[in-house]
Structures are given as C-alpha cells and as structure tokens.
Amino acid sequence: MESVEPSHSAAPRDARVYEMLDATRYTSVGAMLRDALVQFKTHLAFTELDRKRVVHRLTYLDVLRAVERLARRFEDAGIGAGDRVAIVMTNQARWPIAATAAFFRGAIVVPIDYKLTPAERQSLLGHAKPKALVTEYPLFAPHAEGALSAIPLVLVSEVPANARLGHAQPWGALDGSDSDGGEAAPLEAPTFVPRALDDVATIVYSSGTGGQPKGCLLPHRAYLAQYSALTSLFPLVVGDRYFSILPTNHAIDFMCGFLGPLCGGATVVHQRTLRPEFLLSTMKSQRITHMSVVPLILTAFERSIREKLDALPGWQRAAVDRLMKVNERLTEKRPNRLLSRALLRPIHDAFGGELRMLFCGGAFVEQERAEWFHRLGLPVAIGYGLTEASTVATVNDLRPFRGDSVGRAVSGVELRIVGADASGVGEVQLRGPTLMLGYLDDEEQTRAAFTDDGWLRTGDLGHLDASHHLHLVGRSKNMIVTRGGKNVYPEDLEGAFGSVACEELAVFAEGYLWQTRGELVGERLVVVARLKSGADAREQARFRDALLTANQRLADYKRVHALLFTDESFPRTASMKIKREVLAAGVRERHTTADVLALSEPSETLR
Amino acid sequence: MTQTQTSELETRLLTLAAHRFGKSVASLQPSDDVFEKLGIDSMQAMELLTEIEGAFGVEIPDYELQGVTTFAGIAALVRRRLG
C-alpha cells in the first residue's frame, strides 16, 4: 500500500491570484458567493449567446439583484436551512443564479441532469423530495400534468404566452421588470441563512436512473477545499472568460463554470447550442480563455482543425508540421501561450487566440489526442475525479505537460493504491475534505463506498509512478463512462431487457469481464445470455432480434453493443440476486473476447 | 401538406447527409437511425443539423432534437418549422 501526501506546490506568487476570494475564510459556499457578488459588482459575470447573437450580459451587481429577488421568493415560500431546491436547466445564467439564491437561504442545491428523460428526472425528483424546483419551459413542458404536484414551489423560466403551468409559476424577468401588473414592489432583502462547513451544500446524483439513485451528499467544506486547491493551480480571475459547455449539473461545470469563476471575478460565457460550429464562433467572438471539455468535443475540434490543415497546399502543411515540432520543443517544461500563438497563429485564431487552457476529464482522454493539442500549443490539462469526491481528485499541472497520466493528487486530497499487484496496479482510494458525507437515504451503498478507515473506494484501477502521477488502467466496477462523460451502469439496463425471452441475462462492461488494460475508450457493453438448453441457431437469432429491438428503445448512449451466449446457469445469492463477480469470473474462464458477437456499432452521444 | 412534398423534403435531407458523410443516397432510408447509419457521433450529427438548417432556412433549437434519432424525425422538425 502506498500513500501519497498532496504534492502540488502552493499557489504561484502571481498578482492575479490576490484578487480571488480566500475560501478558508468562509464556512459556506453561500457566504463566499455573496462576498464575490459585492466585491466584483462592476465586472461582467455572464454573457449568453444564442448562436451568434448575444442575448444577455449581466454584471455581478445584476446577478446579486436577481439572486436576492429569487432568494426572497424562496423565503416567502418558507424555504430555509436544509430544505432542498432542485434545478433542471440547460447552461444559462439562471442556473447559477438559482443555485446562489438557494445557498443564500441555507438550502441544499440538487442539480438534476437536464439530458435525462422526463421520467428519469421525475424519478430522481421523487428520490430527492425537493421543496422547490427551478426549471425552464422546454424541459418543464414534457412532464405530464400534475406530475410535479408533490413539489410545493415550481418556478419555470422562458414561459411562452398562454402556456399552461398548472400549479407552477413563471420565474419572470431577472430584473423583476415583468412583475404582476407592473407594480414591482421595492425589493425586500432576503434573510441570509449562514451554514457550517459540515452542513450539506448539494446532493449530486452520480448515477442510477434505474433502480438505485445515488445522491452524493456534499458538504460546504468539500467545495471550499476544492476551490482553494484548483484555483491555486489554475486561477480564474477578473478578465478571464470561461466557456461553460458541460452541463452545469455536472460536478466539473458546477466548480469550473460557476463557483470558480464567480469567486474570482471572471466572466462565464453560455451558448444555447452545443453545435461545434457555434462553439468555435463563440470561442472566437468572446475570446475565451478557459473551458472544460469531454473527449467527444476534443475529437470534434481536432476534426475541424485537421480539415483546415488538409485544405492547405502541401508546402504550407509541411511548414505547420515543422512549427508544431518547434513549438513542442520550446514548451517542453511549461506552456507558453504567446510563443505558441506566434508560431501557430492561424490555428490559435480559430479558437479565438486567447485560449490558455482546456480541461479534460478522465481516464478516457486518448493520450495521442491530448499530445496533438499540446503540439499545437493548446494545453489540455487532463484530470480525474468523481462526484463522490466533489470534482477533481488528480490533475496535470502542465509543468510540464503530460498526456500519459491523469496527474497528481490536488492539494487536500490523499491518494493510495490498495491491493497492488506485481506491477503496482491496485484500487485507487481517496481521503480528504472533498469527499461526500454519503449517499442520500442509502446506508448500504454508503457503507460499501468507504473502507472501514474512511477512504473512498473509487473502483478505478491504477498505479502511481515515481513522480506520484496517477495512471489509470481499468476499473474494478462494472460500469462504463462514455466519451460524452456519462456513467452507464449495466445493472440499470437489465430491467430494460426484461421482456426479451431467455432463461437469464446479465449486462457487463467488457473491460470488467476481461479487465483489459489501457482500453478505456469506446468500451463495449456486453449482454451475457443463457437460452434454454439445446437452443439452435434460429432461436439464437430470434433472441438477438428481440434484444436489438429493445436496445433501439434505449437512449443511444445506453445501448449495448455485443452479445455472448453461455450455457452455464448464473450463480445467485439466497435472495436470487446474480453474483456478478462469480459470473464474470466464470465467463472469463470459459470465454475470450473472440466469442463476443457484435450487435451494432457503438454510438456515443452527449445527449 | 401532401405526401409528395413530404418525400421531397426527406429526399433532400437524405441527399445532404449522404453527400456530407460520403454515403450513397440509395443506401439511406427515412426510418434509418442517423447515428448508426452514418457511423457518426453526436457532434457530427449536430454539424449535419446545422447544414440542414442552412439548406432549408430554418432554425431548430437543440432541445427539440432530444430523442430524435431518425432522418424522418429530423424531417418532421424541419417541416414543422417550414409551416
């Protein structure tokens, strides 16, 4: 067992850093946000675009006013300390405004993934039991009438004229200009409700659209510690422009596209469409300095650059290749944006010319891709994290750039490798102030998530190198992460195949069955099925067709890709649950990946 | 709107998609799954949609595309915008 102390150096003595708030002075996220909104009041907090049109610009003072107005509304509805406020919204200024208003009231923010289906969202809302829901009309409308009636206060933005809202109410204009009858009473200031470090700040669902929702209870302490750690490495300050494109309900954008920039006086840019063409035009028009992406978006960017490069005449193309090599050598120790920009100006200009950093999450960034961006002088900081540990557990500090590792543990996070084999690979476990308190209303899963001595079991397999950089090589959990950054739990899919006739079936991540190393991208989900004994090819084909039909009905990122027939009956517990580990071991023993039949090509999506 | 117009719109859409991703028009059917048939990811699908919008002179907000996976589904969205 190897234990590593936090190994990132302290904040660089950079004048820019001093403008940021000192998170150690606060006991709650709400108190820090309140100070930030006052301190940076004349600066631009949010710019929102719809395609190429700028639709909103809000200063920190505008945001403060909008937050106070909404917090007052929460207060009037009786929402206070410890009450839950759910948010189901796409990325726009109203998301952080709603969250901040909830924090002002001492409430717990429950971010819900807007990309889930209405039924899936409803099931999580049923689990979280919020006292208020803040949402937008296109997401509200598909819910059946009365489906949200258990939630006392439902506020809906972007309501079209004559829309039927049932018991829900329109949120209205952010500046209160459309209050009933034009008699906008002077705003009565809301009562700010203080919170302590160990009080719950958010409940974030890490998975479980099926049977077992896992709502991570994250305390204020976790966010404040994480804020200090991340901004000491990558300060976000006045003048920086962060492009928020990952869903704000997700841990990464919650930190990097909400708390991080707002507490440093930076500007957050939102774009109502996620199409690559408009992402690039916004990066250019808004001169974006920082953004977080998932591997899928990196791929789209790379495609776009390569198309441009391929269109160049041969000699120019060769010149760019040479410049990429020069740039790589000159920025070996640390990135130098101005130098890289001078060398590779046309490419940098396509991204606005001001881009300092692309953050990319996870074990799932292909090393070659990250290195390619690095050669262009566009630094990709690869990190690793999980919702159970706030946001980021390890990250590359780019001093120097490395594409082969997910970086070192950030300050405040302790990391150890447990049960290491001869090559040093074992389970990654974490400890520190950024960990969740547990799962909402689920003692059993909470117990399983931690070791007896309080370390979080990540379920990811990795090893540390001599410089304490973490290398992920696989996982011990039966789960996959898509290129779009979504967790898919095979257990959740088995219910969806309940109507497909067979003796029994189970779904596995291929990498869990065979523990393939280093192949974490584009992994397949495999259905292991047992048909009645003596089933012939025709019956196998019939089963396969039925499975395909059921598969088509699933959201595309959840679809299974492959099928394996087995003759052995599944090992089960006394309560008839499948013993997955035993079954997987049996499959591993009797079959190889060559026995797996492809169902269809995996299709990945962000949706 | 008549059946003929409907299939015209779909044909134009299939031609656009086939052209962009180097497939033959004949190999595409309105009921096909866009992602599977073209072998593309969701970012490429969005690029295709932007092209379709340009060709038909309409704008379709991203949220309307949730759950739409077939060419016919996209055609329906375009048709609704064209009125």
Q: Judged by CB atoms within 8 Å, which residues 246-275 of A form the interface with B? A: 272-275
The residue ranking higher by pLDDT, A252 or A347, is: A252
Range of the domain at A581: 480-598
Instruction: Report if residue A386 sits inside a domain.
Output: no
Whether B42 and chain A come into contact, CB under 8 Å, resolves to: yes
Q: Give the pLDDT confidence score for residue A5 in this predicted structure.
A: 42
> What is the average pLDDT value for chain A, to the nearest integer?
85
Smallest CA–CA distance, residue A61 to chain B, in Å, is 30
Nearest C-alpha in B relative to A90: B63
Whether B47 and chain A come into contact, CB under 8 Å, resolves to: yes
Percentage of residues in chain A having pLDDT higher than 90? 46
DSSP states of A520-550 as a string?
-TTPPEEEEEEPSTT--HHHHHHHHHHHHHH
Q: Do B46 and A90 touch (CB under 8 A)?
A: no
Q: Do A273 and B62 touch (CB under 8 A)?
A: yes
Instruction: Report if residue A544 sits inside a domain.
Output: yes
Instruction: Determine the average pLDDT of the residues in A409-422.
Output: 92
Lowest mean pLDDT among A66-70, A273-277, A420-424, B38-42: B38-42
Whether B31 and chain A come into contact, CB under 8 Å, resolves to: no
Q: Which of A55, A273, A306 to mutate to test the interface with B (most CBs of B within 10 A)?
A: A273
Q: Is A370 helix (H, G, I), strand (E, B) or coil?
A: helix
Burial class (CB in 10 A: 0-12, 13-18, 19+), A355: buried
Confidence of residue A180 (pLDDT cuts 50, 70, 90): low
Q: Do B62 and A299 touch (CB under 8 A)?
A: no
Smallest CA–CA distance, residue A332 to chain B, in Å, is 32
Range of the domain at B19: 3-82
Convert the pLDDT of each residue in A493-505 to its tens digit: 787 787 788 888 9
Instruction: Report if residue A536 sits inside a domain.
Output: yes
Instruction: Determine the average pLDDT of the residues in A410-434.
Output: 92
Whether A552 and chain B come into contact, CB under 8 Å, resolves to: yes
Instruction: Report if residue A527 sits inside a domain.
Output: yes
Rounded Cα gap, residues A192 and A323, in angstroms: 55
Tell me: pLDDT of A211 over 70. no
Instruction: Report if residue A52 sits inside a domain.
Output: no
Nearest CB to A556 within list B35, B59, B64: B35
Instruction: Report if residue A334 sits inside a domain.
Output: no
Smallest CA–CA distance, residue B42 to chain A, in Å, is 5
Lowest mean pLDDT among A75-79, A284-288, A303-307, A447-451: A303-307
Rounded Cα gap, residues A304 and A31, in angstroms: 43
Q: Which residues of B touch A273 (CB under 8 A)?
A: 46, 61-62
Q: Do A605 and B41 touch (CB under 8 A)?
A: yes
Contacts of A382 (CB under 8 A, 6+ apart): A360, A361, A362, A365, A370, A395, A396, A402, A403, A405, A406, A407
When divided into structural domains, chain A yields a total of 1
Tell me: pLDDT of A519 over 60. no
Smallest CA–CA distance, residue A603 to chain B, in Å, is 6
Q: Do B46 and A275 touch (CB under 8 A)?
A: yes
Of how many residues is chain A composed? 607
Helix A29-39 vs helix A94-104: crossing angle, to nearest 10: 120
Indicate which CATH number applies to the domain containing B21.
1.10.1200.10
Q: Which of B51, B63, B65, B77 to mutate to test the interface with A (most CBs of A within 10 A)?
A: B63
Q: Give the pLDDT confidence score for residue A327 in this predicted structure.
A: 79
Q: Give the pLDDT confidence score for residue A555 in this predicted structure.
A: 74
When divided into structural domains, chain B yields a total of 1
Q: What is the ipTM of this complex?
A: 0.78
Cis peptide preceding A400, ω within 30 of 0: yes
Rounded Cα gap, residues B8 and A302, in angstroms: 35
Q: Judged by CB atoms within 8 Å, which residues 90-119 of A form the interface with B? A: 90, 115, 117
Tell me: pLDDT of A526 over 60. yes
Convert the pLDDT of each residue in A531-570 to its tens digit: 988 888 888 888 998 898 888 877 777 888 889 999 888 8
Convert the pLDDT of each residue in A74-120 to its tens digit: 999 999 999 999 999 999 999 999 999 999 999 999 999 998 888 88
Whether A561 and chain B come into contact, CB under 8 Å, resolves to: no
Instruction: Determine the average pLDDT of the residues in A289-302.
Output: 86
Whether A601 and chain B come into contact, CB under 8 Å, resolves to: yes
Confidence of residue A44 (pLDDT cuts 50, 70, 90): very high
The residue ranking higher by pLDDT, A466 or A213, is: A466
Instruction: Determine the average pLDDT of the residues in A384-406.
Output: 88
Could you list the beta-strand ranges (E) of A137-266.
153-157, 169-170, 200-207, 214-219, 241-243
Q: What are phi and psi of A462, to 5 degrees?
A: -165, 180
Indicate which CATH number applies to the domain containing A554.
3.30.300.30
Highest mean pLDDT among A129-133, A227-231, B60-64: A129-133
